[in-house]
A and B are shown apart, each in its own frame.
Chain A
């Protein structure tokens, strides 16, 4: 006899359980595990703790300890020595495999996407019974329909294999559960390992309630990054349903131009409420940007940029950068301004790094920088960026005062669009 037995959830759900005398005691409806995969009460390994049985007296959870699952000639036989109910609290803390995982969507942390669970593979070891993997392949579907074996045998004649698709239990983050005792913010801890843009895609594909729940569980920094990556109607959905304080906190963590973009999509009342709730400094920046028309350069520029007086020395600037630790995109381009923020030159990271530390900025700067006007049409940006190979373009008003900069990141979709049409028209 082997030391372990593997079986499928579909293989034991609906099975009749017999006691030691061979009398039927009930039908298996569900299996309970001790914690939620991917949540912080995730003990690393979930173990089956109870069986939900339908008996003459109705539905109840019974301790798994007294159950035994055996394979006899490819057939699974479940016996039970004694029916012992588990405390209600354990039911609430645990998670039911059929109710919360089977047929539901889960996040495949390894493949970074939502998948639907067709079956669950479990293993029985001497220490206990554990879920091993979820089956998301066609074979799982056929097994559920009860036609897996005949179809496999039939296809084997033609040497066709049905490829199995499994996701290891460690890579599973459950999404759809509602019975929770534990704190929401802790339920999705594994999701934090995902890139914001992957997470944004997953949230968009989730139902409305689940996406709100998962989003609310993210910390503000992560939430801001994820929100930035979402499609606009998904952003609107999130901001309309999040509590105002939390929404404002998240928005404060985002660049002002992105916030302006999102608020523009919201209904005016809601946008105003959010702006009021935000800190004045952040909300004022956003309000300025909201003044611009949709198709004006000002509407997509960022107001977070770095500018220096021409008299500064290279070493002073480098030191300042080290202390300030700016975001990566703030280093795309540096601006040189006079007292009223008048733009007189630009320089980039290369200029700075290759220069002697005692040089002044006035010696290394480009005195005839390419710039955009804040009320210019956005269509002009793509051409300028691709023509001069710029990562960021300064934006000035009609008095040539620096207002912000436009990043290539914000126009890259337009650039791709332009390329594509060019290629097509050829």
Chain B
């Protein structure tokens, strides 16, 4: 009732302040459009025009189905996904998954800092200035920060998502062509285009999201009575993800693609927009990239450190002192600092880094999904709320498609060598 007390609980409680305003699904959906995502969507737009926009539809369905399962598991069990996997699968499987999650956490955080570096370079700021400052600010915000600051930053972020709509419209896209390319996708199946599709799906459905979604639902104290509300929240979140992805692809597809401009980073997309859609469009695009990178750089290392500690039983949470939760702080700080430092190495192989973190995500995702499918069909854990047949059909087909895509990703290089 009138308890306006200070919140002392763990980090999710802090994040929960966001969630009080916007639901777990919307947050997850927004963090999903991070620097890696923006890069991949830009590349897809630049290379294939509107040709790959259709992939957003199946991605959307799978995204909704997976997140619904996470939310349901969180609501019913009150336990995090890391907890459940550890308790059912034992140390070895858990270790493999979390080693992967740690690497992907590093990879993703590096991608975020690369996004910070790239977007600031468009404004003429050297990465040797922007990256250390951002890393420091993020660390301070998380370790010493308050809700109010974090809240405001999130508001800026969600507004910045609109910038992609602006940049897309500035590129004067041909809407009827976009429409027909979604309804009747024309795509030459080459190894390159297949790799792009894998990249798009991989960046939209990331393994860490499953853990994050489930924990946020628990931290928000959602009940099965709120299930319908939760479902709406998830659908809205997934719509946000897909709509932003759509406009980024449109922005690049309508300007860069007809000119045949080849880009390799999101920054290139912004720079190439300058002559085609004007300085403002380029700045707006970079600003979105910058904010998205910071936001994800705040959440990702924190979430990664938290889940690893959860799985292995270390104390975790920002309410704990350094001497209580040493592993947590070392992990969190380590991921942040090392990622920032690697980006600062002159001539760091940014593209290779983002490629490799996508490969790790691609391998990890099926493993996490299979664990989830097994857990959610276990009556001992889920009781009445085990998967229905339709959930299982969509869930398992998603797993099979993703495994097939990941395998394809591993096999493609061999074909390319032959060819």
Given A116-B313, A145-B92, A233-B221, A417 contacting B3 (CB threshold 8 A): no
Within 8 A of A (CB), among B77-105: 77-79, 83, 86-87, 90-92, 95
- A320 beta carbon closer than 8 Å to chain B: no
Within 8 A of A (CB), among B1-57: 1-6, 9
Residues of chain A contacted by B95 (CB below 8 angstroms): 141, 145
A363 CB, nearest partner CB in chain B, Å: 37
- A310 beta carbon closer than 8 Å to chain B: no
- State A216–B92 Cα separation when bound (angstroms): 34
Evaluate contact between A265 and B1: CB separation under 8 angstroms: yes
- B229 beta carbon closer than 8 Å to chain A: no
Residues of chain B contacted by A113 (CB below 8 angstroms): 315
- A208 beta carbon closer than 8 Å to chain B: yes
Residues of chain B contacted by A414 (CB below 8 angstroms): 4-5
- B369 beta carbon closer than 8 Å to chain A: no
- B76 beta carbon closer than 8 Å to chain A: yes
- B128 beta carbon closer than 8 Å to chain A: no
- A90 beta carbon closer than 8 Å to chain B: no
Evaluate contact between B86 and A207: CB separation under 8 angstroms: no
Residues of chain B contacted by A316 (CB below 8 angstroms): none
Evaluate contact between A207 and B3: CB separation under 8 angstroms: no
Encode contact with A along B198-230: 1 for CB under 8 Å, 0 otherwise: 000000000000000000000011010100000
Residues of chain A contacted by B6 (CB below 8 angstroms): 413, 416-417, 420
Q: Which of B1, B76, B223, B380 contacts A264 (CB 8 A)?
A: B1
- B322 beta carbon closer than 8 Å to chain A: no
Encode contact with B along A408-426: 1 for CB under 8 Å, 0 otherwise: 0000011011001000000
- B312 beta carbon closer than 8 Å to chain A: yes
Residues of chain A contacted by B2 (CB below 8 angstroms): 261, 294-296, 299-300, 378
Evaluate contact between B1 and A103: CB separation under 8 angstroms: no
Encode contact with B along A100-144: 1 for CB under 8 Å, 0 otherwise: 001111000000010111100000000000000000100001001
Encode contact with B along A141-153: 1 for CB under 8 Å, 0 otherwise: 1001100000000
- Looking across the interface, which residue of chain B has its beta carbon closest to that of A235? B221
Residues of chain A contacted by B78 (CB below 8 angstroms): 206-209, 211, 237
Evaluate contact between A413 and B3: CB separation under 8 angstroms: yes
- A236 beta carbon closer than 8 Å to chain B: yes
- State A113–B317 Cα separation when bound (angstroms): 14
Evaluate contact between B313 and A144: CB separation under 8 angstroms: no
Residues of chain A contacted by B4 (CB below 8 angstroms): 378, 413-414, 417
Residues of chain A contacted by B223 (CB below 8 angstroms): 236-237, 240
- Looking across the interface, which residue of chain B has its beta carbon closest to that of A232? B3
- Looking across the interface, which residue of chain A has its beta carbon closest to that of B77? A207
How big is chain A's contact interface, by range? 35 or more
Evaluate contact between A141 and B1: CB separation under 8 angstroms: no
Evaluate contact between A417 and B79: CB separation under 8 angstroms: no
- A78 beta carbon closer than 8 Å to chain B: no
Residues of chain B contacted by A233 (CB below 8 angstroms): 220-221
Evaluate contact between A103 and B91: CB separation under 8 angstroms: yes
- State A295–B3 Cα separation when bound (angstroms): 9
Evaluate contact between B312 and A141: CB separation under 8 angstroms: yes
Encode contact with B along A280-310: 1 for CB under 8 Å, 0 otherwise: 0000000000000011100110000000000
- A272 beta carbon closer than 8 Å to chain B: no
- State A367–B102 Cα separation when bound (angstroms): 67
A414 CB, nearest partner CB in chain B, Å: 6
Evaluate contact between B221 and A141: CB separation under 8 angstroms: no
Residues of chain B contacted by A102 (CB below 8 angstroms): 90
Residues of chain A contacted by B3 (CB below 8 angstroms): 232, 261, 300, 413
Given A116-B86, A116-B313, A141 contacting B91 (CB threshold 8 A): yes
Evaluate contact between B1 and A300: CB separation under 8 angstroms: yes
- Looking across the interface, which residue of chain B has its beta carbon closest to that of A106? B313
Evaluate contact between B221 and A208: CB separation under 8 angstroms: no
Evaluate contact between B221 and A144: CB separation under 8 angstroms: no
- Looking across the interface, which residue of chain B has its beta carbon closest to that of A295? B2
Evaluate contact between B1 and A260: CB separation under 8 angstroms: yes
Residues of chain A contacted by B90 (CB below 8 angstroms): 102-103, 144
Evaluate contact between B91 and A417: CB separation under 8 angstroms: no
Q: Which of B77, B220, B221 contacts A234 (CB 8 A)?
A: B221
- State A284–B391 Cα separation when bound (angstroms): 48
B330 CB, nearest partner CB in chain A, Å: 12
Evaluate contact between A103 and B86: CB separation under 8 angstroms: yes
Evaluate contact between A261 and B86: CB separation under 8 angstroms: no
Q: Which of B87, B91, B225 contacts A144 (CB 8 A)?
A: B91
Residues of chain B contacted by A211 (CB below 8 angstroms): 78
- A383 beta carbon closer than 8 Å to chain B: no
- Looking across the interface, which residue of chain B has its beta carbon closest to that of A260? B1
- A221 beta carbon closer than 8 Å to chain B: no
Residues of chain B contacted by A356 (CB below 8 angstroms): none
- State A378–B313 Cα separation when bound (angstroms): 40
- A231 beta carbon closer than 8 Å to chain B: yes
Chain A residues engaging chain B, CB cutoff 8 angstroms? 102-105, 113, 115-118, 136, 141, 144-145, 176, 178, 204, 206-209, 211, 231-234, 236-237, 240, 260-261, 264-265, 267, 294-296, 299-300, 378, 413-414, 416-417, 420
Q: Can you show 25 pairs from A to B with CB atoms below 8 A apart?
A: A102-B90, A103-B86, A104-B87, A105-B313, A113-B315, A115-B313, A116-B312, A117-B313, A141-B91, A144-B90, A204-B9, A207-B77, A207-B83, A208-B78, A231-B9, A234-B221, A236-B223, A294-B1, A295-B2, A299-B1, A299-B2, A378-B2, A378-B4, A414-B4, A414-B5
Closest CB pairs A-B (n = 9)? A116-B313, A233-B221, A413-B5, A208-B78, A144-B91, A207-B79, A261-B1, A264-B1, A207-B78
Name 8 extra pairs, CB < 8 A, besides A117-B313, A141-B91, A236-B223: A103-B86, A118-B313, A207-B79, A211-B78, A261-B2, A300-B1, A413-B4, A414-B5
